[in-house]
Structure formats: structure tokens, C-alpha cells
Amino acid sequence: MNALSIPTWLIHISSVIEWIAAISLVGAYAQVTQRPAWFTLSYAMLPALVSAMCACTWHFFDNTESLSWLVTVQAATTVLGNCTLCLSAWWIWRASKIAS
């Protein structure tokens, strides 16, 4: 577990925790405001969370070559996450235009 320094680990771990909290808060916002389009954002955030977890897992095991496939999964889920976040933002925008 020495692939990263302790401050870097703190940033990695806190980022994952913050992302989980953000997903939860967006879902709660969608529920409280009765705006179902915002639920799409909470779901759209999941691929980016998977990407972050892949990176943390790979670093946890000292970037071992046998787990190099995690780098590919991380890249794929990053692209997927960027696309789902874009679509979700569009969906929220469209819903706000319809509502007004």
C-alpha cells in the first residue's frame, strides 16, 4: 500500500466519500423537491464513483501488473460517467424548460 503517500491517500479516500455523499444529497434533493429529473443525476454519478474505486483499488495493491485491467475499467467508466453526467444535465435542463 505504499504506492501513494499518506496525504495522497487522504485525498483519494475523502474524494470517494464526498462523491458518495453528493450522490446521496442529490437523491434526497430529488425526493424532497419532487423533481424526478434530478434522480437521473444521482444515477449518472455512479460510473464516476466506480472509476474512483478502481483507481483506489489499483493503488491499494501497489499498482500490481495483474490488476492492470482496472486501469482500463477506470478509463471506460470515466468516459461512461462523463456521458451520463452530460445526458443527465441535459435532462434536468429539459425538465426545467418544460416546467416553466
Where are the chain's structural domains? Answer: 6-99
Tell me what pLDDT residue 2 has. 66
Across the chain, what does the average pLDDT equal? 94
Considering only residues 3 and 95, tell me which one the structure prediction assigns the higher pLDDT: 95
Tell me what pLDDT residue 1 has. 60
| Model-wide pTM > 0.85 | yes
**Mean pLDDT to the nearest integer, 62-90:** 96
Orientation angle between helical segments 46-60 and 6-33, nearest 10 degrees: 160
Tell me what pLDDT residue 100 has. 72
Minimum mean pLDDT range among 44-48, 54-58, 85-89 = 54-58
Cβ-based neighbours of 93, under 8 Å, separated by 6 or more: none
Count CB-CB contacts under 10 A for residue 96.
11
Q: What are phi and psi of 77, to 5 degrees?
A: -75, -25
CA-CA-CA-CA torsion for 52, 54, 58, 61, nearest 10 degrees? 100
Minimum mean pLDDT range among 1-15, 21-35, 61-75 = 1-15
